[in-house]
Amino acid sequence: MIEQSTIDKYKAYIFEFDDVLYPEKDYLLQVYYLFAQFMEYTVQNDAAEMLGYMKEQYEKYGAAGIFDNTKTKFTLEEEYRLNFDLLNRNAKLPLKLLMFPKVLEFLKKLVQSGKQVFLLSSGNPEKQLNKLRQLEWEGLAQHIKVYFADEIAQKPDPVCIEFVLQEHSLHPDNVMFIGRDIADENMAAAAGVFFLNVEEL
């Protein structure tokens, strides 16, 4: 965990969302579950078999191409792509999304220390908002200002971070950005803010 002396060094903290606050797979696997259930009800495909296949594909290759591969495997009609896409954006999940424990603890410490905390979420804003609404915030939501990066510029354009700094009259030297991948690190460097990989919390 970050020392209090380090926390005191910065006025504001900006977090990415997916795989930084919570594991994105917890959202996606529930979407796949709902889609498999829908297909079982609609065309009598075996939901457990379909879900198992989708989970295996995700773990091997990631989320890209999941519908296309599932469509081929189970000979689904193209029309069901719309249902899959709608679930991806608007699914009402069976279970709440939970933050990584270390991130939750860190956020609580930041709020208790009176720091400004921002969330800069990349991806389709409608889908990201749906995730945010189903995250278990434990009372922290009111202390965090959310920005959707795609409404500002495409990641890793540093304009995303610079926009937040300008809106809140923050100097880059006083800001820490918490992300996970090289794109996050490059974006933070280009904006002149300190980068911390969430794995280091």
The structure tokens 């937040």 sit at: 164
Shared domain for 43 and 117, answered yes or no, is: no
Instruction: Look up the pTM and report it.
Output: 0.94
- What pLDDT shows up at residue 154? 87
Shared domain for 189 and 169, answered yes or no, is: yes
Shared domain for 117 and 46, answered yes or no, is: no
User: Which CATH number belongs to the domain containing residue 126 in this structure?
Assistant: 3.40.50.1000
| Mean pLDDT score, 27-36 | 98
pLDDT digits (tens, 9 = 90+) for 99-140: 999 999 999 999 999 999 999 999 999 999 999 999 999 999
- What pLDDT shows up at residue 2? 81
Shared domain for 83 and 122, answered yes or no, is: no
- Which domain, by its residues, includes 175? 4-22+97-200
Cα separation, 185 vs 195, in Å, equals 6
- What pLDDT shows up at residue 141? 96
Number of domains in the chain: 2
Q: Are 145 and 119 within 8 A, CB to CB?
A: yes
Shared domain for 54 and 149, answered yes or no, is: no
What are 1's two structure tokens?
Answer: 């965990």
Shared domain for 85 and 119, answered yes or no, is: no
Shared domain for 78 and 108, answered yes or no, is: no
